[in-house]
Chain A
Amino acid sequence: MRFFDTRGKPWLVWLGFALVGLALALLPFALAQAGTTWVRIMNYTILYVMLALGLNIVVGFAGLLDLGYIAFYAVGAYAYALLASPQFGLHLPFWLILPIGAAVAALFGVLLGAPTLKLRGDYLAIVTLGFGEIIRIFLNNMSRPVNITNGPQGITRIDPFSFGTFNFARPDTVLGIDVSGPIKYYYLLLLVALAIIVVNLRLQNSRIGRAWEAIREDEIAARAMGIDTRNLKLLAFAMGASFGGVAGGMFSAIQGFISPESFVLVESIMVVSMVVLGGMGNIWGVILGALLLSFVPEILRWTVTPVQEALFGRMMVEPEVIRMLLFGLALVLVMLFRPAGLLPSAVRKRELEEHVA
């Protein structure tokens, strides 16, 4: 992806980085002008970016369609909730739980991956879909005979992130600037998201990334080239899942309350849509997809009613209805005009053109 020709002008790249960095740093304060809610919405958007990037490893890089991805988000969220809430009286620090959550989610990724190694395409999609539901139903029912997850009531009073006396949930004054809780979380989320982006970028052009590409193209040929397809597929599941687990842990802390309701099938479909709409396999495309599908609908929520009242003097269509309408329309339009996604990866684009032709 090259917007400008920066060859021979490396300073342009750094200038671009600096501008984007500055914009991202100032964004929460700009959003806060419109209300803290918007900062919160932005935080959830970043969580979706993380999820979409995690799923992109499985779907985009390794070509394994996973329709139950939200299960890993749930695993991460519950791992955090159980280790940092009055539920068991455990209050471990977040920097300890997040890696644990990532590891547990990765383990679940392997648990899902191992029995499905020989499946491809539709069959894999069906099994992963079932897996997602199994996790949710388990969480819903693990309140008896031993109460672990509190069932449908969910877990409440989950600890926010804190670092010594620095608590992410409380407003503070840093260097003379008033910083609210959500803004603090924003920076933390941004940092983690950046780390995930860097890992994704490094993976894409690595030996592992190339091996995934080969597996996606032709599994037999990949094996004939000396690629251990079993381990690499499991690795894709585990890595994708661990990112989901980290995002889940952060979701738990920010929200302070979780229940199985947050991890329904629609959420999985949402994340898959982000990856597909943005462009499978292209990191920037996937980020764009996540931003579009999680942030834009929120704008609608706040604009649809006033616009209708101004036009017709009363509200005619509920924002939620319009949202689903536009969501469907957007997906149909993208599939018609940009079947490989908004910002497709070069190889994916070729694959789709091949099938159309």
Chain B
Amino acid sequence: MLLEVKALEVHYGGIRAVKGIDLEVEQGELVCLIGANGAGKTTTLKAICRLLPSSGKIAYAGSDITRAKVHELPRQGLVMVPEGRGIFPQLTVEENLAMGAYVRGRVDAERQYATFPRLKERRTQVAGTLSGGEQQMLAIARALMTEPKLLLLDEPSMGLAPMMVARIFEVVREIAKRGVTILLVEQNARLALELAHRGYVMESGAIAVSGSAKSLLEDARVKEAYLGEAAS
């Protein structure tokens, strides 16, 4: 088990945003965490990479990371692409990628450029002037520079045109094929489930349904609430 979350709870002041969830990701899996706005998906992700304090147990690659610091995790191969991308807007594409290689110490962006030819074309452009989709690509490419074992993606499709969403999901599939384990948080349930091996559905801070992506696509409740199909 690469990632094992047990009884995870996160509080915002008095509000319980995540109410004791269990979640597992196997080596080589692509797992998605879907749910509506405010269900606690992003909060869960932030807690896993220690941006938020939480109670419960988080084990990564066999070691307990519940007390780890945010900056220690990328070194161990646990990297997050934050919501809203979190690129460095005033730096160029190249400089952004170089920053991604911070923990590795050597900068070789060629592999990333091969995956994202668009970024290669814009390598000297300032990141803040890229389109939303390109920024998302840059955020993913920058995370890949750390050579992650487990990649946490927070709503990569947010605010993108349908064409670009399709392209981003293609890239996610490609990265998964290379052997990177991925935990994907998405609102776009159909696309996420079509891509993933397994899925968790979150509802107001708890896991409502979980199972293989296929079974979730067939699940009546999921169909009605998230896939926009009437229960048959």
Q: Which residues of B pack against A, CB within 8 Å? A: 49, 51, 69-75, 79-80, 82, 86-91, 95, 98-100, 102-103, 105, 126, 128, 142, 146
- The answer to whether A226 touches B74, judged by C-beta atoms less than 8 angstroms apart, is yes
| Given A227-B71, A354-B128, 20 other A-B residues pairs in contact with their CB atoms under 8 A | A207-B102, A210-B95, A213-B99, A217-B88, A218-B86, A218-B88, A220-B86, A221-B86, A222-B99, A224-B70, A224-B79, A224-B82, A224-B86, A225-B99, A226-B71, A226-B102, A226-B103, A226-B146, A227-B102, A351-B90
Residues on B with beta carbons closer than 8 Å to the beta carbon of A191: none
- A24 at the B interface (CB under 8 A): no
Kindly provide the distance from the CB of A346 to the nearest chain B CB, expressed in whole angstroms: 9
- A120 at the B interface (CB under 8 A): no
CA distance A226 to B105 in the complex (A): 11
What string of 1s and 0s marks CB contacts (under 8 Å) between A325-355 and chain B? 0000000000000000000000100110010
- The answer to whether B90 touches A350, judged by C-beta atoms less than 8 angstroms apart, is yes
CA distance A347 to B74 in the complex (A): 26
Residues on A with beta carbons closer than 8 Å to the beta carbon of B146: 225-226
- The answer to whether A211 touches B49, judged by C-beta atoms less than 8 angstroms apart, is no
A–B pairs, 24, beta carbons within 8 Å = A207-B102, A210-B98, A213-B88, A213-B91, A213-B99, A214-B88, A217-B89, A218-B89, A221-B87, A221-B88, A222-B99, A224-B51, A224-B74, A224-B79, A224-B82, A224-B86, A225-B74, A225-B100, A226-B73, A227-B71, A228-B71, A347-B91, A351-B90, A354-B90
Query: What 6 A-B pairs are tightest by C-beta distance, nearest first?
Result: A226-B74, A221-B86, A226-B103, A217-B88, A223-B70, A228-B71
* A side interface size, CB within 8 A: 21
Closest to B87 in A: A221
- A116 at the B interface (CB under 8 A): no
CA distance A225 to B99 in the complex (A): 7
Residues on B with beta carbons closer than 8 Å to the beta carbon of A354: 89-90, 128
- A156 at the B interface (CB under 8 A): no
Residues on B with beta carbons closer than 8 Å to the beta carbon of A141: none
CA distance A354 to B71 in the complex (A): 29
Residues on B with beta carbons closer than 8 Å to the beta carbon of A218: 86-89
Kindly provide the distance from the CB of B109 to the nearest chain A CB, expressed in whole angstroms: 14
Kindly provide the distance from the CB of B148 to the nearest chain A CB, expressed in whole angstroms: 11
Kindly provide the distance from the CB of A124 to the nearest chain B CB, expressed in whole angstroms: 20
The A contact surface, by secondary structure, is helix
Residues on A with beta carbons closer than 8 Å to the beta carbon of B98: 210
CA distance A351 to B91 in the complex (A): 9
- A229 at the B interface (CB under 8 A): yes
CA distance A207 to B142 in the complex (A): 16
- The answer to whether B71 touches A207, judged by C-beta atoms less than 8 angstroms apart, is no
Residues on A with beta carbons closer than 8 Å to the beta carbon of B90: 217, 347, 350-351, 354
Residues on B with beta carbons closer than 8 Å to the beta carbon of A214: 88, 99, 102
In chain A between 213 and 257, which residues have their CB closer than 8 angstroms to a CB of chain B?
213-214, 217-218, 220-229
Closest to B71 in A: A228
Chain B CB within 10 Å, residue with most, of A211, A221, A223, A224: A224
- The answer to whether B82 touches A217, judged by C-beta atoms less than 8 angstroms apart, is no
In chain A between 180 and 216, which residues have their CB closer than 8 angstroms to a CB of chain B?
207, 210-211, 213-214
Kindly provide the distance from the CB of B209 to the nearest chain A CB, expressed in whole angstroms: 30
Residues on B with beta carbons closer than 8 Å to the beta carbon of A228: 69, 71
Residues on A with beta carbons closer than 8 Å to the beta carbon of B142: 225
Closest to A231 in B: B71
Closest to B74 in A: A226
Kindly provide the distance from the CB of A308 to the nearest chain B CB, expressed in whole angstroms: 47
Chain A CB within 10 Å, residue with most, of B49, B82, B105: B82
Residues on A with beta carbons closer than 8 Å to the beta carbon of B100: 225
Closest to B104 in A: A226
Residues on A with beta carbons closer than 8 Å to the beta carbon of B102: 207, 210-211, 214, 225-227
* Among candidates B69, B70, B72, B91, residue contacting A217 with C-beta atoms closer than 8 Å: B91
CA distance A69 to B79 in the complex (A): 37
Closest to B139 in A: A221
